[in-house]
Amino acid sequence: MQVHVSNDAATSVATGALVVPVFAGGAVDGVAAEVDRVLGGAIADVLSGGEIAGKPNETSLIHAKDTPFKRVLVIGLGERDKLKPSAIAKYAGTAVRYLGKRGVKEIALALPDGLDATLAASFAAEGAVAAIIDTTLYRTEADKPVVTTGVTILNGSYDASAVESGAKRGSVIGEAVNAARTMALTPANDMTPTHLANRAKELAADAGLEFDVLDEARMLQLGMGSLLGVSRGSDEPATLSVMTYKGDPSSSETLAIVGKGLTFDSGGISIKPAENMHEMKYDMSGGAGVIGAMWAIGKLRPKVNVIGLVPSSENLPGHRAMKPGDVLKAMNGKTIEVINTDAEGRLILADALCYAKQLGATKIIDTATLTGACVVALGHAASGTMSNDDAFVERFLKIVADSGERYWRLPLYPDYEQQIKSDIADLKNTGGRAGGAETAGAFLKAFVGDTPWIHLDIAGTAYLDAESPFMAKGPTGTPVRAFVHIVEDLAKNGAPTNGVAKSAATAAV
C-alpha cells in the first residue's frame, strides 16, 4: 500500500472515498462540519437519526453526488476529551477494511483536530497499512479481499512537514507489524527454524543490519544445552538469529530485544490436547516481533545500539526428545530440571538471554507467548510485564502507554523463585499452576544477572480469535510497536539507569 500526504481540502479532494471523523455527543464539527455542508446535512442526519452515535469505530457510508469524492465514510472516534493519538490507527484501519472490502482502491483520510501532527499521521499510516493483511494467505480465491492500494492523509490544519514525517514513520511501523504477522500466519511446514532465520536474514539485509545465525554446532560449543534440549525431539535443527543495529557506535549502551521463536509447539512428551493445537504455529510470535521491530529500527535509524536475538526450534515428541526428569545445563552453567516439556519457551530463551549478555547488552527486553497463566490473569486485553529494575520498567510502561499495545506489570516476589527451586538441579522449569506467569518470569530472571531486564508475556495478545473493524483475526504484531517506541525514546533521552535499581516487586516482604 502507498501512503501519501496532501494539502487538498477535504471538500475538494478527488478520491474513491473520503473518510471523516465524528465524536460521541451528536455535534458535527471540525472537518466533518465542512464536509457536511457540501453534503447538505447528510452527516448530521446520520447522527441525529441514531444510525451511529460516534462511538469508536462505528461506521456509516454516505454516497455523494456532484462532489469530487464518490462516497463519504463517517467513522466514530468516541468522546473528544478522551481521544488519544493511537485511536487514529484504529480509525484508519477501520476505513481501509470497510472500504477496501467494498472495492474502493483510493481513500482520502481526514484527521481530527487537536492532536500532535506527527503522531496523528504516524498512527494513521500505521493503521492503514496494517489493515490490508488477511489470514487468507493460502487461499486460491480470498473472500472479499481488501483492494485498497492507496491512502492519502489530508493535512487539514496541521503542519505539512510534520504530517509527512509522521506518515513515513507510520508506514514503516505498519509494514514491520505486517511482516511479523505474516511470519506468524505462515504454517509450521513453511516456517521452520531455518525458514525463520532466512526471513530474518532477508529483512536484516533490506534494513542494512548486520546478521549472524548460530547453528547447533556453535550452540554446542557455547554450552547452550537448554535451547538444544528443546530441539532434540525434532529433525529440524535449531537456530539462533542475531540482528545487529549500530545506531550509536560511540556509546557503550546496547539494548537487546529477545524473542521466542518456537515455530511449532506440540508440548513435546508432555503433549498438548489436540484441540486448537494448530494455533501453536503462533508460538514464534515473539521472535517474529523482534525480527519485524529490528527491520523497522534499521529503516528509522534512531541513534541507539540494538541487538535482536531470536532462538528458534520446534518442540516435538520425537525419539530423542527431552523427557520429564531430564536435567539440562544452560550457557551460564545453571542446571535445569525439566518438570514439564511443555514449559519449553523459557528454556530456549534462557540461553538467548545469556548470549545477549555475552554480546554486550546493557539492557534486555524479552518477549514470548510464554504462559497460559498470563492469559488467565489478563485475558486478551494486555500483555504481562515483569522486571528486575523499577526505573527501566516504569519508563517502558510510560513510553508504550499509547503505542497501540497494552502492558500491565506483574510482580516478581522472592516467593516465585522458591517455587522453581529444584531438589536435584539449580532450577526446575515450572513451579506449578499457582502464579504460573510469575514463576516463568522468575525463571528467566535467573539468566540476566544484574542487567536491567523486562519480560513481556504476550500469550494473550499475540493473536486474537475474532476480527475487529480495523484488523483481521489472527496475529496482531505485538510487540513490534512497543519495541519501536522504547528504542526511539532511548535514542532521544538516553539510558534510564546506570545500574539495577532495586525493584519493589522483587524485594522481600
DSSP state of 413: -
**Is 346 annotated in the active site?**
yes
Phi, psi of 165 (to 5 degrees): -60, -45
Residue 67 belongs to some domain of the structure: yes
The CATH number of the domain holding residue 341 is: 3.40.630.10
Position 501 in a domain: no
Q: Same domain for 263 and 150?
A: no
One domain for residues 140 and 268? no
How many domains are contained in the chain?
A: 2
pLDDT of 506 > 50? The answer is: no
List Cα–Cα distances, 277 to 223, 266, 417, in angstroms: 31, 7, 30
CATH code for the domain in which residue 120 is found: 3.40.220.10
DSSP code at position 312: E
Are residue 168 and residue 313 in the same domain, yes or no? no
C-alpha to C-alpha distance for 259 and 308, rounded to whole angstroms: 8
Q: Are 443 and 427 within 8 A, CB to CB?
A: yes
* Side-chain-facing half-sphere of 435: CA atoms under 13 Å: 18
Q: What is the pLDDT of residue 27?
A: 85
CB-CB contact of 151 with 92 (8 Å): yes
Strands 335-337 and 453-457: unpaired
| Three-state SS sequence of 6-25 | ECCCCCCCCECEEEEEECCC
Please write the tens of the pLDDT for every residue from 127-148. Answer: 999 999 999 999 988 788 999 9
Residue 198 corresponds to which cell in the numbers above? Answer: 532466512
Is residue 456 within 8 Å of 479, Cβ to Cβ? yes
- Let me know: does 328 contact 226? Beta carbons within 8 Å: yes
Q: In the prediction, which pLDDT does 332 show?
A: 98
User: Rounded CA gap, 285 and 262, in Å?
Assistant: 8
Distance CA 175, CA 170 (A): 8
pLDDT value at residue 496: 60
pLDDT, position 507: 37
Residue 464 lies in a domain: yes
Q: Which position has the grid cell 545500574? A: 499
156 and 217 belong to one structural domain: no
The model's pTM is: 0.96
Catalytic residue among 168, 272, 406, 409: 272
442-448 mean pLDDT: 98
Q: Are residues 238 and 339 in the same domain?
A: yes
Give the burial string for 37-63 (b: 16+ CB within 10 Å, else e): ebbeebbbebbeeeebebebbbbbebe
Q: Which of 334, 346, 428, 481 is catalytic?
A: 346
* 473 falls within a domain: yes
In a domain, 252, yes or no: yes
Q: Which of 143, 142, 137, 165 is nearest to 153 (CA)?
A: 165
Does 219 share its domain with 125? no
In the predicted model, what is the mean pLDDT of residues 449-460? 98
Q: Is residue 506 part of a domain?
A: no
**Same-domain check for residues 346 and 477:** yes
Whether 226 and 158 share a structural domain: no
The pLDDT tens digits of the residues spanning 147-198 come to: 999 999 999 999 999 999 999 999 999 999 999 999 999 999 999 999 999 9
Give the model confidence (pLDDT) of 43-57 as tens digits.
999 999 999 999 999
Last residue of a domain, one of 112, 142, 177: 177
Active site residue 281: no
- How high is the mean pLDDT of the chain? 95
Compute and round to an integer the Cα radius of gyration of the chain: 24
C-alpha cell at 129: 497499512
With cut-offs at 50, 70 and 90, classify the pLDDT of residue 499: very low
**DSSP E strand boundaries for 142-288:** 150-154, 210-214, 239-246, 254-259, 261-265
CB burial string 375-404: b at 16+ within 10 A, e below: bebbebebbbbbbbbbbbbebbbebbeebb
285 part of a folded domain: yes
Same-domain status, 190 and 171: no
Check whether residue 64 and residue 11 sit in a common domain: yes
**Among 177, 208, 227, residue at a domain's last position:** 177
Same domain, 241 and 341: yes
Range of the domain at 50: 2-177
Each residue's pLDDT tens digit, 412-424 = 999 999 999 999 9
User: Does residue 509 fall inside a structural domain?
Assistant: no
297 pLDDT exceeds 80? yes
Question: Do 225 and 309 lie in a common domain?
Answer: yes
Q: What are 356-411's pLDDT values in tens digits?
A: 999 999 999 999 999 999 999 999 999 999 999 999 999 999 999 999 999 999 99
